[in-house]
Amino acid sequence: MNQNEKTMEKIVSLCKNRGFIYAGSEIYGGLANSWDYGPLGVEMKNNVKKAWWKKFVQENKYNVGLDSAIIMNREVWVASGHVVNFNDPLIDCKSCKMRHRADKLVEAWCEENKVECNVEAMTNDQLSAYIQEKKIPCPGCGKSDFTPIRKFNMMFKTFQGVTEDSQNEVYLRPETAQGIFVNFKNVQRTTRKKVPFGIAQIGKSFRNEITPGNFLFRVREFEQMEIEFFCENDEKKWLEWLQNWKETCEERWIEKIGINKDKLRFREHDPKELAFYSKWTWDVEYLFPWGWWELQWIAYRTDYDLQQHMKFSGRDMQYTDPMTGARYVPHCVEPSWGLTRAVLTAMIDAYDEEEYINGNWEKETRTVAHFHKNIAPIKFAILPLVKKDEKQVEIAEKIFHDLSKDYFCEYDDNGAIGKRYRRQDEIWTPFCITVDQQSCEDWETVTIRDRDSMEQKRIKISEIANYMK
Ligand SMILES: [Zn+2]
């Protein structure tokens, strides 16, 4: 199946109908751009998290984990620069009053008119001038008459405590990274880690985006998987780590999540499009049906964040090298993944509609996702061939009981076996275990059906678990 045939409508509809993802607050007409993970979605998301944590925390001798609070002291965001710098360029249409993001307006226009243009590298003045020069129309009314660009801070603001005054104003964190930076000293002291070492965190972040969209791709409430990797304040060293992380990340995506290598690429940021805290950034981009978009990045954040926190908090953020006695503020390389995007990417990448010949030698089409077995929500479907056969049910229930201690399984005794297989294909289950007449005779064998090849084999019950190893 071609990438451009995998429309978002197909993915959204499958997600909704099979219990992966629902529209948020649906019975009240929904809330724009919010999504809830259903029974299968939550399994899949947890599996991506688990695979990441295992690879980057459990199996990595340099890294340790952290889970910091979402609501932090307001000063954190003053120090990090988000209060002043974390803005979207907004313009209003004077004619129909519709609000737009200036950069997105230019980007969409360039795409439509096949003009090459690096929008992320343009300043607000350049964006304004470009919109005027090209007479870019308002998507709402078609006129080209806009207000000047205003900066809109993307952090969600709320109040802690009972009084709503500026003293109690707090933000929902726009990135998990700052929770790591403010705990740098705590972690270093209590773990006795030596530089280089990393602190990893998975958690929710919030950005009040003006133009979210494309299902899970750009959402206001999302989850990140981030590592702040602290290294020596020596250019040769952090360059080495930057390169090292780039290679690790490329390899891991393919290996652990099973994403097609041909649809991934690294793109180095133009110096002008760098975030205010970064000196060097690589984006890992994936070829979505709507084009290449960022999935993950690796940024060199210098010693900016720790220096800022040292300045604003008055606490010493320096590290002393136990060998040389040198004191310095470590530099930081940040590999950062969007968990929400990773889930969407895995879905799009694996989604397929395939023709095959059924048992009656007829052509049929099946929807299937060739997911890596590690992230498939359900690993084994246990299917007694005949629901009314007591022996079959007894064996099937015993298998479910034993296997489900280690793996997420589904027990399904409803309908014709072919239909049950199709349903498991649709929810991406890698293995179907069928208990049949022969199982009742020998009490030790079942058939196992492979999702991708659709091949069936007779195996011993004791061998089933090996298929997940
Ligand atoms: Zn308008």
Burial class (CB in 10 A: 0-12, 13-18, 19+), 357: exposed
CA of 135 to the centre of ligand 1 (A): 13
CA of 137 to the centre of ligand 1 (A): 8
CA of 136 to the centre of ligand 1 (A): 11
One of 2.60.40.10, 3.30.930.10, 3.20.20.70, 3.20.80.10 is the CATH number of 3-77+157-347, namely 3.30.930.10
CA of 12 to the centre of ligand 1 (A): 29
One of 2.170.190.11, 3.30.40.230, 1.10.357.10, 3.90.1640.10 is the CATH number of 87-153, namely 3.30.40.230
CA of 106 to the centre of ligand 1 (A): 15
CA of 146 to the centre of ligand 1 (A): 8
For residue range 382-435, list pLDDT tens digits in order: 999 999 999 999 999 999 999 999 999 999 999 999 999 999 998 999 999 999
For residue range 255-267, list pLDDT tens digits in order: 667 788 888 888 8
CA of 96 to the centre of ligand 1 (A): 4
pLDDT at 212: 64
What token pair was written down for 444?
Answer: 């030790």
CA of 64 to the centre of ligand 1 (A): 50
Sheet of 63-66: strand order equals: 63-66, 197-206, 221-231, 331-338, 291-302, 280-288, 264-268
CA of 94 to the centre of ligand 1 (A): 7
CA of 132 to the centre of ligand 1 (A): 14
CA of 95 to the centre of ligand 1 (A): 5
CA of 145 to the centre of ligand 1 (A): 8
We find that the CATH architecture of domain 378-468 is 3-Layer(aba) Sandwich (3.40)
CA of 113 to the centre of ligand 1 (A): 19
**Domain-by-domain residue ranges, the chain?**
3-77+157-347, 87-153, 378-468
User: 440: closest CA among 370, 366, 390?
Assistant: 390
CA of 139 to the centre of ligand 1 (A): 6
CA of 92 to the centre of ligand 1 (A): 8
CA of 79 to the centre of ligand 1 (A): 38
Token match 């964006």: residue? Answer: 127
CA of 130 to the centre of ligand 1 (A): 17
> Residues lining ligand 1 (ion), CB within 5 A?
93, 95-96, 98, 138, 140-141
CA of 273 to the centre of ligand 1 (A): 28
Strands 363-369 and 351-357: antiparallel
DSSP 327-339: EEPPEEEEEEEEH
Question: What sign has the CA pseudo-torsion 9, 264, 223, 99?
Answer: negative
pLDDT at 370: 84
Strands 264-268 and 280-288: antiparallel
Strands 157-159 and 150-153: unpaired
pLDDT at 252: 67
pLDDT tens track of the chain, all 469 residues? 787 788 888 888 888 999 999 999 999 998 888 999 999 999 999 999 998 999 899 999 999 999 999 999 999 999 999 998 888 889 999 999 998 989 889 988 998 999 888 887 888 889 999 999 999 999 999 999 999 998 889 999 999 988 877 778 899 999 999 999 999 999 999 999 999 999 999 999 999 987 666 777 788 999 999 999 999 988 888 889 988 888 887 776 666 677 888 888 888 887 777 776 677 888 888 888 888 888 888 999 999 999 999 999 999 999 999 999 999 999 999 999 988 888 888 888 888 898 888 878 889 888 888 888 888 999 999 999 999 999 999 999 999 999 999 999 999 999 999 999 999 998 999 999 999 999 999 989 999 999 999 999 999 999 999 999 8
CA of 35 to the centre of ligand 1 (A): 29
CA of 7 to the centre of ligand 1 (A): 28
Say yes or no: do domains 3-77+157-347 and 378-468 share a fold. Answer: no
